[in-house]
């Protein structure tokens, strides 16, 4: 009951990359960089296990950014000539690569870190991939001329990599779709369908993470404009409830999401965000257990997973570590409180 997991990313150590940045520059190259990525992955596996988490991730130490880490391994994309594009409905500008030809995987994308992680933890291993709709929103299209067509093309590539990750021994494959909270109608119309293409044929557990973004200023400012009640999930959850995706990760603690929206996910495992990633204040175990208690009004006990609201990548290592411990301690307290 109340398994604990992170959404996905963790801070990169200063010897691996620039710290507290969303698109950090690597500190080395070639074989040295590969070794540094491996070392950082092992360090975070150990830290998650020491904190007492039940589901372990690679902390996304081997990718610069959660979308571009995948896109870098795709043929048909010009990574040399990035352009500035407003992303997430122009919430902020990003330097994005351009799609210039039919899309095809160059080979395996995440074999190195997935196999490494599998070798070094006996716990459940979760691996994250960007969702098709979020990828489409983070690249410039100079070829397809149609969002849905391009999303389906990316979904096929994601499916190829997801099946290979499953063969590597990954237990849970999670697709990250923050774009679902920005283009709600599109998400319901074709985003969920694209996700199901990406997850086609998987027999491991499948998950989707939908959030209000990392704790960066552009997102914090955006959230200020969303009003008293954040009802974005209301438009997307019914489509997800009907889908084959088994777990859904959502923001809860310190968000303005009405908790009763979790009811719309009937039948799914719900990864409830009990850790705020936009604040350096460490949650107390009591606060974490309280959030779990709130979610229990709408989610059955055996369906509730305690999670972070989003990735912890732009935070300091110390804060992230303390938050992992708060997550595990809070879930343990909730088991005592609500376990009977
Ligand atoms: Zn997120």
pLDDT number for residue 219:
86
Distance 277 CA to ligand 1 centre (A): 9
C-alpha 212 to ligand 1 mean position (Å): 6
Domain-embedded: residue 186 = yes
Strand order in the sheet with 247-250: 55-56, 124-130, 172-176, 205-209, 247-250, 269-275, 304-308
Question: pLDDT digit string (tens) for 73-102?
Answer: 999 999 999 999 998 888 889 899 999 999
Confidence (pLDDT) at 183: 95
CA angle (121, 125, 130) in 5-degree steps: 140
- The two structure tokens encoding residue 160: 């190829």
Place of tokens 């914090």: 220
| Residue 268 covered by a domain | yes
Q: What is the Cα–Cα distance from 57 to 123, expressed in whole angstroms?
A: 10
Domain enclosing residue 37, as ranges: 30-62+119-130+160-338
Give the tens place of pLDDT for each residue, 294-317. 999 999 999 999 999 999 999 999
Q: Is residue 240 part of a domain?
A: yes
Asked if the model's pLDDT at residue 321 lies above 90, the reply is yes
Residue with tokens 């997800």: 240
Query: Would you say 287 and 253 are in contact if contact means Cβ atoms under 8 Å apart?
Result: yes
**Domain presence at residue 150:** no
The β-bridge relationship of strands 124-130 and 172-176 is parallel
What pLDDT, on the 0 to 100 scale, is given for residue 54? 98
Q: How far is the CA of 35 from the centre of ligand 1 (A)?
A: 27
φ, ψ of residue 251 to 5 degrees: the values are -85, 140
Q: How far is the CA of 114 from the centre of ligand 1 (A)?
A: 20
Residue 157 reports pLDDT greater than 90: yes
Cβ neighbors of 213 (< 8 A, separation 6 or more) are: 88, 91, 178, 219, 222, 310
For residue 264, being part of any structural domain is answered with yes
- For ligand 1, a single-atom ion, the residues with CB < 5 A are 211, 310
Helices (H) and strands (E) in the chain, counts: 11, 10
As a whole number of angstroms, the distance between CA 298 and CA 270 comes to 10
CA 287 to ligand 1 centroid distance, Å: 21
Mean pLDDT within 231-257: 96
Contacts of 206 (CB under 8 A, 6+ apart): 172, 173, 174, 175, 199, 244, 245, 246, 247
Segment 56-60 mean pLDDT: 98
Of 282, 281, 209, nearest in space to 51 by CA:
282
List the alpha helices (DSSP H) in 55-146.
68-71, 111-120, 132-136
In the chain, the number of structural domains is 1
Q: Rounded to the nearest whole angstrom, what is the distance from the C-alpha of residue 177 to the centroid of ligand 1?
A: 8
- pLDDT band with cut points at 50, 70 and 90 for residue 112: very high
Q: For residues 317 and 7, is the Cβ–Cβ distance under 8 A?
A: no
Report, as an integer, the average pLDDT of 104-118. Answer: 97
pTM of the full predicted structure?
0.96
Specify if 305 maps to a domain.
Answer: yes
Q: Which pLDDT tens digit goes with each residue over 98-107?
A: 999 999 999 9
Report strand pairing: 124-130 vs 55-56: parallel
Across the beta sheet with 74-87, what order do the strands follow?
74-87, 92-105, 140-141
The CA distance from 53 to 111, in Å, is 23
What CATH number corresponds to the domain at position 264?
Answer: 3.20.20.210
Q: pLDDT value at position 288?
A: 98
Centre of ligand 1 to C-alpha 300, Å, is: 23
Residue 213 forms part of a structural domain: yes
Question: Nearest CA to 44 among 250, 333, 312, 332?
Answer: 312
Q: Length of the chain in residues, anyone?
A: 340
Could you tell me the distance, in angstroms and rounded to a whole number, from the CA of residue 31 to the centre of ligand 1? Answer: 30
Confirm whether 300 is domain-assigned: yes
- CA gyration radius, the chain: 19
């Amino acid at each position: 009951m109340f398994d604990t997991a992170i959404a996905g990313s963790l801070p990169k150590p200063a010897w691996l990359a620039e710290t507290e940045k969303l698109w950090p520059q690597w500190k080395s190259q070639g074989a040295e960089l590969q070794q540094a990525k491996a070392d950082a992955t092992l360090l975070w596996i150990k830290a998650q296990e020491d904190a007492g988490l039940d589901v372990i991730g690679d902390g996304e130490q081997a990718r610069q950014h959660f979308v571009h880490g995948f896109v870098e391994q795709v043929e048909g994309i010009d990574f040399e000539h990035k352009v500035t594009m407003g992303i997430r409905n122009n919430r902020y500008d990003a330097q994005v690569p351009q799609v210039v030809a039919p899309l095809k995987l160059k080979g395996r994308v995440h074999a190195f870190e997935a196999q490494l992680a599998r070798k070094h933890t006996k716990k459940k291993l979760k691996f994250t991939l960007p969702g098709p709709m979020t990828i489409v929103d983070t690249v410039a299209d100079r070829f397809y001329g149609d969002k849905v067509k391009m999303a389906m093309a990316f979904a096929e590539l994601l499916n190829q990599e997801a099946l290979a990750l499953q063969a590597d021994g990954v237990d849970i494959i999670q697709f990250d779709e923050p774009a679902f909270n920005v283009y709600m109608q599109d998400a319901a119309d074709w985003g969920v369908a694209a996700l199901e293409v990406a997850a086609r044929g998987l027999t491991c557990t499948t998950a989707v993470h939908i959030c209000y973004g990392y704790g960066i200023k552009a997102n914090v400012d955006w959230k200020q404009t969303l009003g008293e009640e954040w009802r974005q999930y209301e438009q997307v959850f019914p489509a997800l409830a009907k889908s084959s995706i088994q777990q859904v990760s959502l923001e809860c603690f310190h968000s303005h999401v009405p908790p009763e929206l979790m009811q719309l996910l009937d039948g799914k495992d719900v990864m409830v965000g009990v850790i705020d990633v936009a604040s350096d204040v460490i949650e107390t175990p009591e606060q974490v257990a309280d959030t779990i208690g709130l979610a229990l009004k709408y989610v059955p006990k055996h369906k509730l997973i305690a999670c972070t609201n989003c990735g912890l990548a732009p935070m300091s290592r110390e804060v992230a570590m303390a938050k992992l411990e708060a997550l595990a301690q809070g879930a343990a307290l909730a088991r005592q409180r609500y376990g009977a």
